[in-house]
Structures are given as structure tokens and as C-alpha cells.
Amino acid sequence: MYLKELTELFGVSGYEKKVREYIREKIKGRVNLIEEDPLGNLIAMKKGRIDKRLLICAHMDEVGFMVSNIEDDGRLSIISIGGIDPRAIIGKKVIIGEKEIPGIIGFKAIHLQKDEIYEPPKMENIKVDIGVTKKSEAENKVKIGDFVAFSVESKSNERWFSGKALDDRCGCSILMDIIHRDIDLYYDTYFIFSVQEELGLRGAGVSAERIAPDLAIVIETTTSGDNPEFPSDRRSTELGKGPAITFAHSGYVVDERLFRWIIDVARENGIPYQIKRRTVGGTDARRIATTLAGIPSAVISIPARYIHSPMSIINLEDYSNTLKLVSILLTKEARL
Amino acid sequence: MIIADVLRSLSSTDGPSGYEYRVINLIEEEVKKIPDVSAEIDHLGNLIVKKGGQGKKIALFAHTDEIGFLLTKKESDNYWRFTTIGGIDPKAIISQRIKIYTRSGDIAWGIVGMLEPHLQTEETRRKVPSLDDLFLDVIDGQDRVDTGDIGVFSVEPFLLSDRYFTGKALDNRVSCATLLYTLELLNDFIPKAESYFVFNIREEDGSPGAKTVAYRLKPDLAIVLDVTHGDISVPSMPRIELGKGPALGVGPVIDYNYFEKLKGLAESISVNYQIEPLGGRSGTDTDLIQITRGGIPTLLVSLPLRYMHTPYEVVNIRDIEETARLLSYFVARGGE
Amino acid sequence: MKDLVRKLTEINSPSGRESRIREVILEELKNSIDGYEVDKLGNLIVWKNGKSDKKVLLDAHMDEIGVVSSFIDDKGFIRIEAIGGISAYNLIGSRITFPESGIEGVVGIEGETPQDVQKNLKELNFDKIFVDIGARSREEAEKLVPLGTFGVYSAEFVDLGRRIVSKAMDDRIGCAVLIETIKMSNPYYKLYGAFSVQEEMGLVGASVVAFNINPDFAIALDVTAWSDTPKGYKRMSIELGKGPAIKIKDNASISDRDIVERLRNVAEKNGIPYQIEILIFGGTDAAAIQRTSSGIPSGTLSIPCRYVHSPHEMIDIEDAENAVKLLKALVEEER
């Protein structure tokens, strides 16, 4: 499991380099092929028993920001990359650019706020402080176009893991774990560590076009909603109930045959699982399915709390059950 | 080539999305004046001009379509309801004269009227009409117009001052003029690239034009020319100004390596440039081109423009000259 | 043709669960085609050879909008999510059928006080409604409608003479028109008929259906909205009974100019009534087909339809018959 290292690396959509280099380093020598495409997707392949192709993917990118302007007082204006709620970002430490310059997202003290105290902050009022007082000082350290990522230390015990970017470093970790095991793969299996999913599913489809697989499985980290403020009948998944299998989401109804096959395999092997209840949100499956002449796709997710914020949580049993399920699936022929 | 003259012809030629052929034909005529190039119009109506035969394949794109109108429903003898092609602020349509192309090719004229103040009430005076409140008064040609006829703003382009040019459709005719000028400048070089200058159709309705040409050409690098908002303050963004050169896009949809190269070249040949941060999709042809095929490295170069999508947009001719200079060098050096 | 439309609209096949409608369509066509295939996503593609080696693709989508069960509470009430653009407003007072379970349910609305109910009706969404299949416990409901069961409107076909009403007229009427066109034509071009999946989820099937065919041009057949009811959309002029609608533009695409002109010319030459359509919202499979690979000139021929996406969609049968006439003349034209 590579969650600690993966979640502490910085890989905002479009700036996935550090995550990609770490993964590449860890999997080389264990796969038959590694390459990178023009968008930065990392593609690794392990041969299987037959001559057909299965694509399994997880996205490397996380939501974050980009430096959009350097103000006269040396503070940085930022714009969002991916869907971040501005209410979740105040009082956080961030890291800027390749040089990893530290900064903080400060905010007006409560003492000084009057009516605004219950108003959601606007992105245009959010500035990053890197501890300088003049524009020229800031320009020596950072530039427009630098990524701005949350800097969060992960914490875990035997049951829980908390940190940033669990969406979708959990998926990346699962893929890495599978690569490291000696699984008797059925298909020639293409592991895609994709880019720019958070910006509208941009990376994985490109890889699918290049590889032209016969089928695809997307490993995601998904919403739960299992907290006391959210009605239980509107929850998406629950932590501790096992990997979540998707039947439909935004823009795509998962291939019915793959959906039923995954559930049957889980049942036959006594692996706890749940069916993802809500259909909101999308994954790379939509993009992959509509590539070339069509690629039947499925989605398996690890449930998480508070995704798209700087602090999320997963249940480690869900992680290991997801790994177990996917490992078994990859040894079999899909029932298509 | 006298830029102001070409810009004048381009602006006064009418070509809303889906009906660009007059503009395409005009550009084809202009291209005939340039030696050592070959041009073809593809099956969808895009004009593709090729120059040079060796080296990296670089494709430059400028969409040729403009915003426009469509007659949707006849209210009575001369009153017509209409809709827009592309996003147009209803405030910019009030009291305009619209030039209507009838099915037979004849021209008709309509006016979007504003009720005289004397007849207005307190309430109506404060309301800004929406498209549902507006109508076209077809004063000339009422028996010739029909549902589905297209219209454009009826506006004569002119030089506002010696450097500033104004007229309709400068989004994106200013980029078309820039590409034409770049082709002319390229004559002074033996380019180290196989370059394609694509004057594509239909950006305003989700770019099937640019994306499909990129699919066919499979370039090693795609450079999209479009316009961006100039001389206006946008929160969190650097102020982009007319006359200060092209705005180079930076962000996830831009290839960072090529961006650095282009920026470095601009500095070394003393071309003024500006930076435009793009936190996600750019809203231009760049977005779809980047994820075409197995992924294509993309750059976005934008000319600053005032009052976008109104009948009198404004550009600075110097920006056309500087942008063309930069691009001709860049292409000549094979994108290095 | 009415009987064909009745047969097709009575099938319950929401997006992602199209096997039944696909079987029925194939059964209808099997003696009129030179070949067929079912592609990777489940699109049904049939063809009929012509004299020329040019290819034309006509497309209609097989799926209909629906719902899916997402939660069952302790008392056996079922929460649902939308499949495609189905509005909670159209579900109030409607019945839902779950074809895989063979059971029907009634849609109810939450409200702890009369004021609550009024407020919920004003701001209705899927959180405030539920389906009641008459179960008296969670176990009973779960056995019949487990999590992830798809459902559709329960509403029969009604023949009002020239006007016919049913659920799923969108786009079974398009499928009917395509089936009749294929049966009745002696095409000049090689005629491909595509019955696409998951259009309501976002043109999923249509995004891939033309990839291997690579036709010279394509026309999608779908329903369009209407403006001829009391205080109907004032900026549109689409009326039932005025003929099939040749689409100029909708919110997802602009039809290829040449295709529009051609459809008009063929209609005029053959004395077939038609109207010109500009939709200020919406989209069809043409938007996806036109951007396949290096581009395919595409357009849409629409059947005007009232109350689209409600359980009771209404069309004029002559508009559909004229659409068939128009398409037949088009594909038989030697050009």
C-alpha cells in the first residue's frame, strides 16, 4: 500500500509530474512495458494469458489551484483547478510550484468580520501568503502558472487513513499493489495512471484511444455522505461496507454484463461489497466507453468521506477488500 | 499585405457558425497571393493550407465563424422572433440593424427596436430585455425572409485611430488575419517544419471543425489562435492589454514545455507578450484538440480584444504584427 | 404504421437496458436487410446495399428515459434517481413500472404539513419523492426491487385518430420511421440504420456508432419540441401536423447546410410537407456523430412532439408518415 507517499505528493491536474515519477520508479522492472503519452498519462502493461486487452485505470491528479496573478503586496491570487468548494480552503498550508515554496491561505480574523461571517468566501478574495511584502520579492520565488497544492500530512491507524487527495491516489495505490503481486492475469493488462480527470475526464480517454482495449475497469475513490448531517436515504456509499460497484453515473450506464459479473465474482469469493446508490458525478468510464468503436466499461470505487476537500478519510478494510476483488477479477475472463 | 485592408475584408464578410463559406472563400483568395503553399477545403468546409514539407508537423488553427442570428418564428407581416448563434448579450442587440440572408441569396434588413421612452413605464424602464422580449422588425424584404434565415450585425469596420481597428467578428477574424500575415512572413524562411494553417469552421457550437481536422492531420504540436478580453480588470487575473502583444496561455490544457519554448523565443527576438492563466478548459478549440487521438500537445495564443461579442469589437494592429512575427519564427524553427 | 409505433412504445427499455427493444427491432427488420451487427456498446447497426458505394447513415435512439432504485427504507418505500432527463415534476401522480421485476409503483411526495407539501411541489426534486409498490416491509420491497433496478413510466398507447400518445415516443417514433424507411426503400446509397443506446445519458451510443461505418453523411431521427399549445414557446414555430421538421440548429449542433438544403429540395420536389426547426434548447445524436474521427456532415430530421419527456408524448401520425416518404425519396435519389 502506497497511500502515505502518494497522498503527500503534489499532483494538481495538469501538474502530475511528481506523482508520475514516483509511480514510475516503483513499478519499473515489474511490468513488460512503461510509456508516457503527450498528455502525461503513465501507461504500464503486464502480459496475460490471452491476446486481448483490458484497461484498468486510476487518476493521478488532485484538485488544487494555480497562481493567476501576483498582487502588488506580494500576495498571490489563485484560480481553482477542478471542483473545490471555497468554504473548505481557509486556514490551510499550501505548496507552490516545482520549487515547493510554502504558503498559507489566510483569512480575515473573526473579530473583524461583521455580516460576512456566514457568507461563503469568494475565490477572488482568497489570497495565498508566502511571507513577502512586495511584488518583486514574490516574483523571485513564484510565477503565474505555478500550481498550488494543499500540503497535508497523512495519519492512519489499523482501521482508518486520513489525508488529502485520496481521490484518486487510493486507486493509484491499488493499481501499484496489483502490479507488485504475482497475479495470473487473464488479459494483457494495461495499467493507466491518468491525468486531468478532475478537469472533465481528459486523460484516460486519450490512453484508451491509443491502446484500444476490449474492456475497461475504472478504480475510483467515491463519495459517501455517511455523516450525521446528511439524510441516510440520500447517501451514496458507507465506509466499512466494502468496495462500491457502480451501475450508472453522470453520462453513462455501466455495461450491464460487466456490472453483474463483478457482483457475482464478489459473492462467489465472499468479498463484502456495496452498490453505489447515487448516480451523481462521473468518472473516466464515460470517456473511455465512447472512445473508438466503443469500449464496455465498469467502475469500482473505494468509499471515502469529504473528497474534493483537503482532508478525506477511508476505511482500510474497504481498501483491502477492493484490492482483493480487483485482483480476483483480473485473473478471469469477463462475462461479456 | 496591408493588415488593415485584410482585416476590413474579413470583418465585412459574413460567416456565422455553420455558414462560413463566404469567409473561407475570401481567405482562399488571399492565400492564392502567397507563394509556395498548397490549399484544400475538406469535406466539412475547413480550409487547410500547407507550407513546408520537412520536420515536425505543426498545425495552427484559427476559427473563421462569427456570432449571428437565426429567424425562428413569424409574429405578423414584418415581425420576427429570433435566436442567436453563439452567446450574445441582448443589450448589445437592441437598436441594431441586422443583415439577413434569405434562402435565395437576396439580402433583407431588420431592426431590433427599442420602445420609445415616452411609451415606457417605470417598470419597463428598469428591466433589461431578454431574447424572449426582443423581436426583429423586417422593414426591407418581409416577403422574402423565412424561418431559418441567418443574420449578422450590419456594421462597417474602420480604423478607430492609426493602430486601433474596430468592427464586427474580430473574434476571430483578427486571428485569421494573423495567420495570413504569419504565412507571408514565413516566406523569408525555409521552415524546419511541415506546417498546416487551418482556417476552421464552427468554434461557437462546440468545435467539430478544429477537432476533426486535428484528428486527420495528427500534428506533433497544435497552436490555437483565438481572442481574449483586453483592457478590463478581471478579479484574480493579470490585466491583459491591447498593444502589449499576444497573450500566451498557461495551465493544464497547455503543453508546458512548448509554452516555455515559445516564451523563450519571444524574449530572445524581443516580441512583447503577456501571460494568460487558464485554470481548466480554455473555452477555445484548444480543449478538444488536446484530447484528440492519443493526445496532442497544444498551445493557445490569444489576441487581446475589447467588447467581445458586440458589434464593435476593438483590436490593436500592432498585436497582429507581433504575434505573426513570433509565430513565423517559431514555425520556421520547427517549434524550438 | 400506428401498430408498429404501439408495439415499440410498449417495450420498456430505459438507457443502459436496451436488450428487449433491440430484439424487437431486429425481429421487425430481419427480412428487409442485408446484414446487421451489435457493436461493443449494444448499438444495433443494420444495412441494406445500394447501387453506389457511397454510404448514408440514418440514426434513431432505442433508449427511453427512466428511473433507478437507489434506496429502500424500513417501511418498504423506494427512493429513485433519474436515468436521463426525467423531471421529478413529471413523476408526481405517475406510475412507474420496473420491467425486470414485473411490478408497478405509484410516486408519492413528502410533506409533514400541508404547507410542507405545497413548498415541496414548488421546489420539487428527487429527494422529496419516493415510489410506493405496496410493500409493507423493507425485505418485501428489496426482494422485488433490489438496489439498482431500472424503471420506466407506466403509460399506455392511446390512439386519438391523427394524433397518437404514448410514453417513449422519444425516440420510438424515430425508430419506427427508420424501420419503415429501411423496409420500403430501394436505396441508391448503401443505407446504414443505427439504433443507438444511451442517447438520454448524453449521446453515448451515437459517439461510437459511426466510427467503423464512416458514412458520407448522416441524419439523426428524433423528436423535437413544440410551440403550438396555449401560450407555448413564443420564439419557436414547430407545429404538429405541419410535416416533419428539418432542423437548422439546436443547443448541441448546427445541421450541415448542404444536408438541410438537400432535405428541403427532396421534400419540395416530391410534394412532401415539411417545416423548418430551430430549437432553443436540446440536442440529438447528430451532435455526437458529426464529430466522429475526421468529421461527418450531419443533420437531424425531427418529428414534432408535444409534452416531451412526460409519460404522455403526442405526435401526429402523418408527420411520421411524411418523414418516411421524405427519407425514402432521399436515399433513393441518384446523386
Express each pLDDT in C28-71 by its tens digit.
999 999 999 999 999 999 999 999 999 999 999 999 999 999 99
Burial class (CB in 10 A: 0-12, 13-18, 19+), A157: exposed
Over residues C148-160, mean pLDDT:
97
Which one of B279, B296, B297 has the shortest CB-CB distance to A81? B279
| Residues C267-319 pLDDT 10s | 999 999 999 999 999 999 999 999 999 999 999 999 999 999 999 999 999 99
To the nearest whole Å, the CA of B112 is away from the closest chain C CA by 15
Please check whether residue B63 is in contact with residue B122, taking contact to mean a CB–CB distance below 8 angstroms: no
pLDDT tens digits for B98-123? 999 999 889 999 999 877 777 788 88
The H or E element that residue B331 is part of is: helix B317-332
> Chain C, 168-207: which have a CB under 8 Å from a chain A CB?
198, 201-202, 204-205, 207
CATH architecture assigned to C66-153: Beta Barrel (2.40)
* Residue pair A304/A169 in contact by the 8 Å Cβ criterion: no
Three-state secondary structure of C150-175: EEEECCCCEECCCEEEECCHHHHHHH
User: What mean pLDDT do residues B210-230 have?
Assistant: 96
A–C interface: beta-carbon pairs under 8 A:
75
* Alpha-carbon gap: B201 to the closest alpha carbon of chain C (Å): 11
Q: What is the mean pLDDT of chain B?
A: 93
Cβ within 8 Å of residue B293, ≥6 positions away: A206, A209, A210, B214, B215, B218
Distance from CA of B86 to the nearest CA of C (A): 10
Output the pLDDT for position A226. Answer: 85
What is B3-66+168-332's CATH number? 3.40.630.10
pLDDT exceeds 70 at position B137: yes
Q: Known catalytic residue: B313?
A: no
Query: Domain C2-64+167-332 belongs to what topology?
Result: Aminopeptidase (3.40.630)
Length of chain C: 335
Residue A276 near residue A218 (C-beta atoms within 8 A): no
**CA A110 and chain centroid, separation:** 34
Among C5, C38, C93, C47, smallest CA distance to C310 is for C93
Asked whether the beta carbons of residue B132 and residue C249 sit closer than 8 angstroms, the reply is no
pLDDT per position as a tens digit, C110-152: 999 999 999 999 999 999 999 999 999 999 999 999 999 999 9
User: CATH assignment of A3-62+164-329, given 3.40.50.800, 3.30.470.20, 3.40.630.10, 2.40.128.50?
Assistant: 3.40.630.10
Closest to A15 (Cα-Cα) out of A199, A262, A282, A236: A199
Q: What's residue A115's pLDDT?
A: 81
Instruction: Calculate the alpha carbon distances from B269 to B175, B263, B329, C278 in Å.
Output: 21, 10, 9, 50
Name the phi and psi angles at B31, rounded to 5. -65, -30
Domain ranges of chain B: 3-66+168-332, 68-153
- Give the residue, B120 or C332, on which the prediction is more confident: C332
- Pairwise CB contact (< 8 Å): C17 & A253: yes
Amino acid C4: pLDDT: 97
Taking the Cβ of residue B232 and every Cβ of chain A, the question of whether any pair is shorter than 8 Å is answered with no
Which residues of B touch chain C, with CB atoms under 8 Å apart?
Answer: 17-19, 21, 42-44, 70, 72-74, 81-83, 85, 131-132, 146-148, 202, 205-206, 208-209, 211-213, 215-216
Percent of chain C with pLDDT over 90: 99
Average pLDDT of chain C?
96
| Whether B251 and A78 lie within 8 Å, measured CB to CB | no
In chain A, residues with a C-beta closer than 8 Å to the C-beta of B281 are: 199-200
Chains touching chain B through at least 3 C-beta pairs below 8 angstroms are A, C
Asked if C2-64+167-332 and C66-153 have one fold, the answer is: no
Q: Directed axis angle between helix B170-185 and helix B317-332, to 10°? A: 50
- Identify any residues that bridge with C72 across adjacent strands, giving them in sequence order: C78
- Torsion angle of alpha carbons C169, C170, C172, C178, nearest 10°? 120
Q: Do A289 and C201 touch (CB under 8 A)?
A: no
How far apart, in Å, are the Cα atoms of C34 and each of B19, C62, C221?
A: 37, 21, 21
Q: Are C72 and C145 in contact (CB under 8 A)?
A: yes
CATH number for B68-153: choose from 2.40.30.40, 3.20.20.70, 3.30.930.10, 3.40.718.10.
2.40.30.40
Cβ-contact A59, A168 below 8 angstroms: yes
Pick the catalytic residue: B203, B204, B276, B322? Answer: B203
Which residue in B43, B74, B131 is closest to C237 by CB distance? B74
Interior CA angle at A88 toward A87 and A91, to 5°?
Answer: 105
CA A211-A214-A217 angle, to 5 degrees, is: 85
Q: How far is B235 from chain A (nearest CA, A)?
A: 6
Per-residue pLDDT of chain A (336 residues; tens, 9 = 90+): 999 999 999 999 999 999 999 999 999 999 999 999 999 999 999 999 999 999 999 999 999 999 999 999 999 999 999 988 888 888 899 999 999 999 999 888 888 888 888 888 889 999 999 999 999 999 999 999 999 999 999 999 999 999 999 999 999 999 999 999 989 999 999 999 999 999 988 899 999 999 999 999 999 999 888 888 888 888 899 999 999 999 999 999 999 999 999 999 999 999 999 999 999 889 999 999 999 999 999 999 999 998 888 889 999 999 999 999 999 999 999 998
Closest residue in A to B277 (Cα–Cα): A68
Catalytic entry in A197, A198, A220, A238: A197
According to the CATH classification, is domain A64-150 in 2.40.30.40?
Answer: yes
Q: Is the distance from CB of B249 to CB of B286 less than 8 angstroms? A: yes
Write a three-state SS string for chain A.
CCHHHHHHCCCECCCCHHHHHHHHHHHCCCCCEEEECCCCCEEEEECCCCCCEEEEEEECCECEEEEEEECCCCCEEEEEECCCCHHHCCCEEEEECCCCEEEEECCCCHHHCCHHHHCCCCHHHCEEECCCCCHHHHHHHCCCCCEEEECCCCEECCCEEEECCHHHHHHHHHHHHHHHCCCCCCCEEEEEEECCCCCCCCCHHHHHHHHCCCEEEEEEEECCCCCCCCCHHHCCCCCCCCCEECCEECCEECCHHHHHHHHHHHHHCCCCCEECCCCCCCCHHHHHHCCCCCCCEEEEEEECECCCCCCEEEEHHHHHHHHHHHHHHCCCCCCC
CA dihedral A79, A81, A83, A87 (to 10 degrees): -40
- Asked if the Cβ–Cβ distance from B148 to C297 is below 8 Å, we say no
Q: Test B252 with A196 for CB contact under 8 angstroms.
A: yes
- Round to whole Å and give the CA distance between C219 and C217: 7
pLDDT top residue among B133 and C119: C119
Which among B236, B239, B258, B296 is the top mutation candidate for probing chain A, defined by the most A β-carbons within 10 Å of its own β-carbon?
Answer: B236
Residues of C in contact with A278 (CB under 8 A): 70, 81
For residue C278, give the nearest of B21, B42, B70 by CB distance. Answer: B70
| Interface touch A256/C17, C-beta < 8 Å | yes
Q: How far is A275 from chain C (nearest CA, A)?
A: 7
Domain ranges of chain A: 3-62+164-329, 64-150
Q: What is the mean pLDDT of residues B147-159?
A: 95
Task: Output the CA torsion sign for C299, C304, C309, C311.
Answer: negative
Quick one: pLDDT at residue C118?
Answer: 96
Domain extents in chain C: 2-64+167-332, 66-153
Segment B49-75 shows an average pLDDT of 94
Q: Which of A247, A250, A289 sits opposite C41 (nearest CB)?
A: A289
How crowded is residue C261: how many other Cβ atoms within 10 Å of its Cβ? 13
pLDDT band at C232 (very low <50, low <70, confident <90, very high): very high
C94–chain A Cβ distance below 8 A for any pair: no
Determine whether the interchain pair B277/A66 forms a contact, defined as Cβ–Cβ distance below 8 Å. yes
Query: C24 to chain A, minimum CA–CA distance in Å?
Result: 19
Contact residues, chain B, for A207 at CB < 8 Å? 294
Nearest chain B alpha carbon to C251: B205
E strands present in B54-157: 56-63, 68-74, 79-85, 97-101, 107-112, 136-140, 150-153
A290 closest CB neighbour out of C17, C147, C208: C208
CB proximity B297 to A under 8 Å: yes
pTM for the model stands at 0.93
Q: Do A78 and B236 touch (CB under 8 A)?
A: yes
Name residue A53's beta-bridge partners.
A188
> Nearest Cβ partner of C68 from A247, A250, A255?
A247
Cell 466494502 sits on residue: A242
Statement: residue B207 has pLDDT above 70: no
pLDDT score recorded for residue A223: 87
| ipTM score above 0.90 | yes
C184 φ, ψ (degrees, to nearest 5): -90, -10
- A neighbours by CB contacts (3+ pairs under 8 Å): B, C
Residue B336 has pLDDT above 90, yes or no: no
- Ordered strands of the A155-156 beta sheet: A155-156, A160-163, A312-315
Exposed (0-12), middle (13-18) or buried (19+): which is B121, by Cβ within 10 Å? exposed
Chain A nearest CA to C325, separation (Å): 31
B33: which DSSP letter?
Answer: T
C-alpha cell at B182: 504569419
Query: Cell 503486464 sits at which residue?
Result: A46
